[in-house]
Amino acid sequence: MTAGVVIDVLLGLILVGLATQVAIGKHLFRAIVFYVAFGLAMALIWARLGAPDLALADAAIGAGLTGALMMVAFRRLVEIDPKQSQALVTRGSALAVVLAVLAAGMVATIGLTALSLERQPGDAGLQVLATLQETGLGNPITGVLLVFRGFDTLIEMAVLLTAFIGSRVITTRSRLSVTTVSGFELPLVRTLVAVILPLAVLIGMHLLWIGSDQPGGAFQAGSVLAGSGVLLLLTGTLLPASRSRALVRLALVAGVGALCLLVLAPLLQGDGPMAYLGRGSLLFAETAMMVSIAVTLTLLFAGSPSLKAGSS
C-alpha cells in the first residue's frame, strides 16, 4: 500500500466517523458542531482530489456559514422554549437501517460500476479547456461558471435572493436578536476582531481578484466576507435593524442585476444575448455577486432585513 492510499483511507474514515456523529449522535447541538467538522474534513478531501475551488467553497460555506446558520437557528429555538428545543424523538427502527443500507449499496453500485467502465474525459470538460484560451481566463471553473454556463449562475443568484425573500416573509417581526459575546466581557475579543477583520477582507478581495486565473472567485470571496459579517454580528459591532435601507436592498439584488446586464449588454453591440464581453465584464459581475452573497448570507444569519452599527 502506498502512502496515498493510506491518506485516502484515513480521510475517508474521518469523514464517515464525523457523518455518523451528525446523523445519529445523541445531542442535536453536538450534531451541529460535528457537521462543521464534517465540512472541514470535506474541504480537506476536495484539496486531496485536486479541486481547490471546492475546498475553499466548502470550508467557507459548507462548514462555516451553514454551521453558523444552524447554530443561530438552534439558539432561537432555545430562546423560544428551552425544553422542547432539544426534544429528540429518535426511534430506532430496523426498517430505517435496511433502507439506509440499501441506499448506500445503491450509491456504491452506481459509483463502482461507473468507475469500472472505460472512462474517457467528458466532451464538455475537454471543450472548456480547449476554448478557455479564447476567453483569456486561467481558471476553467470560473470559465464554466461565468462564460460557458453563465445562465446557471444567474439562476443560482436568483435562488439565493428568493431564499432570502422567503425567509423574510416567514420570519415574524417580534424580536430581533443575535446573541453577542460582548455581554461576557471577554477582553481579547475586540482585539481579535481588529486583527481578523482586515485579514478576512484582504483574503476576500484577493480571492475575488485572482479568481479568473487561479482557485477562488466570487463565491469564495463572498462567503469569506459573510464570515466577517457574522463575526461583527456576534461581537455586537453590527446589530440587526428592522428597517430596510435602500443601500442594503441594492446590495441584495446586485448579483442578479449585474448578471442580467451581462446577458443584455451584448444586444447593444448587435451580438446575441449572453455573448462574451471580455474579462472586465466578468470582474464587474463577480464583484457584484460577491457583494450580494456576502450581504445575503450575513442577513440570513442576522434574521433581519437590514443592519446597523452597534453602540460600542
Partner 1 sequence: MTSAIFVLVAAAIFGLGVHGLLVSAHIMRKLLALNLMLSALFLLLIVVPASIDGHPDPVPQALVLTGIVIAVSTTAFALALMVRLFRKQGHATIHPDLDPALLGRKHGRRTAPEAEGERAP
| Residues 278-307 close enough to bind partner 1 by CB under 8 A | 293, 297, 300, 303
| CB nearer to partner 1: pick between 61 and 232 | 61
How far apart CA 258 and CA 112 sit, in angstroms, is 42
How far apart CA 232 and CA 236 sit, in angstroms, is 6
* Strand 306-309 relative to strand 238-241, pairing: antiparallel
The three state secondary structure string of 279-299 is HHHHHHHHHHHHHHHHHHHHH
Which stretch in 38-46, 185-193, 236-244, 246-254 sits in contact with partner 1 by CB under 8 A? 38-46
Please report how the helices 28-48 and 3-24 are oriented relative to each other, as an axis angle in degrees rounded to 10.
160
Q: From the list 134, 163, 196, 245, which residue makes contact with partner 1 (rule: CB under 8 A)?
A: 163
Ranges assigned E (strand) in 218-302: 238-241
Site for partner 1 in 64-123 (CB under 8 A): 65-66, 69-70, 73-74, 76-77, 80-81, 84-85, 87-93, 95-97, 99-101, 103-105, 107-108, 110-112, 114-115, 119-122
| CB nearer to partner 1: pick between 24 and 186 | 24
Nearest Cα to Cα of residue 285 among 264, 255, 263:
255
| CB nearer to partner 1: pick between 116 and 269 | 116
61 interacts with partner 1 by CB under 8 A: yes
Contact between 302 and 311 under an 8 Å Cβ cutoff? The reply is: no
How far apart CA 264 and CA 12 sit, in angstroms, is 45
| Size of interface with partner 1, in residues (CB under 8 A) | 97
Look at the block and give the residue holding cell 479547456.
129
SS3 label, residue 240: strand
Other beta carbons within 10 angstroms of residue 297's beta carbon come to 26
| CB nearer to partner 1: pick between 14 and 201 | 14
| CB nearer to partner 1: pick between 126 and 196 | 126
Q: From the list 19, 250, 261, 263, which residue makes contact with partner 1 (rule: CB under 8 A)?
A: 19
Site for partner 1 in 141-160 (CB under 8 A): 141, 143-145, 149, 152-153, 156, 159-160
Name the burial class of residue 146, with classes exposed (0-12), middle (13-18) and buried (19+) by CB atoms within 10 angstroms of its CB: buried
Nearest Cα to Cα of residue 167 among 72, 61, 255:
72
Site for partner 1 in 180-219 (CB under 8 A): 219
| CB nearer to partner 1: pick between 61 and 193 | 61
Q: What minimum distance in Å lies between the beta carbon of 267 and partner 1?
A: 25
Which stretch in 10-18, 182-190, 229-237, 245-253 sits in contact with partner 1 by CB under 8 A? 10-18
Nearest Cα to Cα of residue 276 among 125, 147, 124:
147
Task: Give buried/exposed letters for 37-68 (b at 16+ CB in 10 A, else e).
Answer: bbbbbbbbbbbeeebbbbbbbbbbbbbbbbbb
Q: What minimum distance in Å lies between the beta carbon of 139 and partner 1?
A: 9
| CB nearer to partner 1: pick between 193 and 303 | 303
Which stretch in 124-132, 201-209, 238-246, 261-269 sits in contact with partner 1 by CB under 8 A? 124-132
Contacts with partner 1, 245-284, as mask; x by CB under 8 A: ----------------------------------------
| CB nearer to partner 1: pick between 93 and 311 | 93
Contact between 297 and 222 under an 8 Å Cβ cutoff? The reply is: yes
